[in-house]
Structure 1
């Protein structure tokens, strides 16, 4: 596993930088090893990088862009690690049989997935589905950390698909999984994202919950942003699993910042043994031109949405919440019936008038937190494997 790096200053290029590079065509990787390159696919049906091996594959210091999937693996119990790599969505092309959103990484069967210090723009995010086949060690898990994202975009040719920054939907419980220190900023009418982070019938373990912490997530909107119907939002535990062996379970969601989101900030639509604490949520429910959001907004909510009786033992506490309802005339910090599906206590609802200025201060708070913790996000000027 690629575990140690030497790096210099943080750097993120403008969007146009991806078009100044010389790109090669798609690549198919059939052997393990470390790969560096600039790859693209202008066809939604062809992944820019297709990985067809269960041997460990490291993608390092690369640039990838695509009209469909950027990096994909299907059916290989994959071990894929992606570091210091830029990923861009380009104009989608027609698809066959089913939609092919421009995921930065999509994998169905895997042992180990690491995505760190990457930059994603105008693309869908990371989707892990079907089955975790790892051994439960720290070397075979999921780590999605230190990434910088601009505009998660589910648009496909002649429509759009439901996409997330991170979507987990796989069988078998996992240890040591972590989604942390990511910055995700979505702009109205430039993005279309459902839940920024969705955990769907996916389980940690009592002694090793899935940890979602210290992420900054700003913006979640329908397309166009003037639409009134929108079901997306921030971080969601989603679980139509019919019994306790299938339902989402053992998550810890803490110290995240949720800013300017449509839909909701943090929700439990199903699942058990979920802890939501020490998060900050600030939503003025206004666009930059001061016009009101036309879609639902809320802070935290919990509900046995699927009525499977697998939603229990959940807590939401010590969160700081300042969320305006969509009409701009009322607050919707904690959805009223949430006490039924979660134990809510010691949450702080700010009495201040919620403004766009408060949202901007949250970003300043985020930058200060990065400095205080000496965390660098996004690609780094130099990153090398330490032998």
Structure 2
């Protein structure tokens, strides 16, 4: 019996049912396999789009929607919810970016959301996508209408175009997500391979904030790789994590972000506070050997940690930021901070960086590997399962030096 759905059945499916059939029964031709969700419910299935301009799944309802155990393959955006008011859970899904159908487009984002009321993204696998983009916020300020990103696995956040152009992407990019209580980004694993990815800031808070009583919590994430393309290029603006944004008031700038117990490895810059107030980065580990896995020199790396007023804002907009009790070993040939060929703390802009533990020289590829080992030990000790059930060992693996 054919597994291809009839056009009538598919039309009903696209209107939005409460529970869709398993992926094994949704092997529809590519032109039939994108999904538009118009009603709330729980959805599962295999959705595919070969068109950079057609999302695999498009959500056009404000009713609660759960995507559970889906397989998504797309040349463009994989999940789109940009009409406002979305209440969305994405759990145990596998997402694969395909080659863009247009030469001037990068691989599509795993998720693009605008003015959502609540978003929960947990235990998913993302490969060769443009990451997650959250614009603005439509929640009511309660702790339940929040953003949660937990236990996901991402491989190769990619902003490269088929025509040779580039659009930097983020694992998680927030823009104008302000005053959100109970926000949490935790236990995610992001691995970007040199010359197979193009990420800018793996995590970027742009004009986005928690609250004074409930700072946004970014903790216990493992991020490997923030490289230019090609990886040996001399210029690059990416990092592990950055607070960013041109907000000209204390209410509109990035604020109340607390990042702790994260590991940033092999990034050209590790953690920057470049905008905002009351951002606090502590007890993180930042390790870069200055070498690519094959031994070639990484030339675009600069400094592990920095606090700098990138947008030249007044003292009532940029203030109250600090680094404390971080462990750093960051190689930068020609620098001497605190040891020869090291640039652990930006020598021009890290005065409020206190109680730093500097790893001894030499910092090598093996030092980076040790960070991976520490991450694996932490996961076992805490009993954390990353990604969807049954994820292969290769999908969970690190690039080894």
2:139 aligned residue: 134
Distance in 2, matches of 1:74 and 1:315, equals 34
Deviations 1:248-277 (A, max 9, x none): 000001000011112x10001111101100
Compute the displacement of 1:290 (Å).
1.4
Compute the displacement of 1:226 (Å).
2.1
Q: Are 2:75 and 1:67 aligned?
A: yes
Deviations 1:27-54 (A, max 9, x none): 1001000000000110001001000011
Structure 1 unaligned regions, length at least 5: 1-17, 383-387
Distance in 2, matches of 1:68 and 1:322, equals 38
Q: Return the index of the structure with the highest Cα Rg.
A: 2
Distance in 1, matches of 2:230 and 2:73, equals 24
1:268 aligned residue: 273
Match of residue 53, structure 2, among 33, 39, 45? 45
Compute the displacement of 1:294 (Å).
1.9
Secondary structure at 1:44's aligned position in 2?
coil
Match of residue 346, structure 2, among 326, 332, 335? 335
Match of residue 44, structure 2, among 32, 36, 49? 36
1:314 aligned residue: 321
Q: Are 2:150 and 1:145 aligned?
A: yes
Deviations 1:33-88 (A, max 9, x none): 00000001100010010000111110001100110100001123111110000000
Secondary structure at 1:165's aligned position in 2?
strand
1:291 aligned residue: 296
Q: Are 2:86 and 1:78 aligned?
A: yes
Q: Per the alignment, do residues 39 and 214 of structure 1 end up closer, same or farther by CA in structure 2, a change over 3 Å counting?
A: same
Distance in 2, matches of 1:220 and 1:203, equals 24
Aligned 1:203-214 pairs, distance under 5 A: 203-214=209-220
Q: Which moved more, 1:153-162 or 1:207-216?
A: 153-162
Distance in 2, matches of 1:23 and 1:354, equals 51
Task: Give the total of aligned pairs.
Answer: 358
Q: Are 2:334 and 1:323 aligned?
A: no
Deviations 1:72-131 (A, max 9, x none): 011231111100000000010117xx95641000011100011100000011111001x2
Match of residue 92, structure 1, among 97, 100, 104? 100
Q: Are 2:242 and 1:236 aligned?
A: yes
- Contact 1:45–1:100 (Cα < 8 Å) also in 2: no
Q: Per the alignment, do residues 177 and 326 of structure 1 end up closer, same or farther by CA in structure 2, a change over 3 Å counting?
A: farther
Deviations 1:212-265 (A, max 9, x none): 000000011111112111000100000211111111000001000011112x10
- Contact 1:297–1:326 (Cα < 8 Å) also in 2: no
Match of residue 114, structure 2, among 108, 118, 121? 108
Secondary structure at 1:281's aligned position in 2?
strand
- Contact 1:261–1:297 (Cα < 8 Å) also in 2: no
Distance in 2, matches of 1:100 and 1:134, equals 30
| Higher RCO (C-alpha under 8 Å, 6+ residues apart) | 1
Compute the displacement of 1:210 (Å).
0.6
Distance in 2, matches of 1:172 and 1:184, equals 25
Q: Per the alignment, do residues 44 and 371 of structure 1 end up closer, same or farther by CA in structure 2, a change over 3 Å counting?
A: same
Q: Are 2:308 and 1:300 aligned?
A: no
Compute the displacement of 1:327 (Å).
6.0
TM-score relative to the length of structure 2: 0.86
Compute the displacement of 1:171 (Å).
4.6
Q: Are 2:164 and 1:155 aligned?
A: no
Distance in 1, matches of 2:240 and 2:170, equals 10
2:396 aligned residue: none
Deviations 1:312-333 (A, max 9, x none): 1011010000000156961010
- Contact 1:293–1:326 (Cα < 8 Å) also in 2: no
- Contact 1:93–1:156 (Cα < 8 Å) also in 2: no
- Contact 2:99–2:107 (Cα < 8 Å) also in 1: no
1:202 aligned residue: 208
1:350 aligned residue: 359
Distance in 1, matches of 2:304 and 2:120, equals 30
Structure 2 unaligned regions, length at least 5: 1-22, 392-401
- Contact 1:285–1:324 (Cα < 8 Å) also in 2: yes
Q: Per the alignment, do residues 23 and 354 of structure 1 end up closer, same or farther by CA in structure 2, a change over 3 Å counting?
A: farther
2:192 aligned residue: 186
Deviations 1:275-317 (A, max 9, x none): 1000001100101221211212321011001101221101101
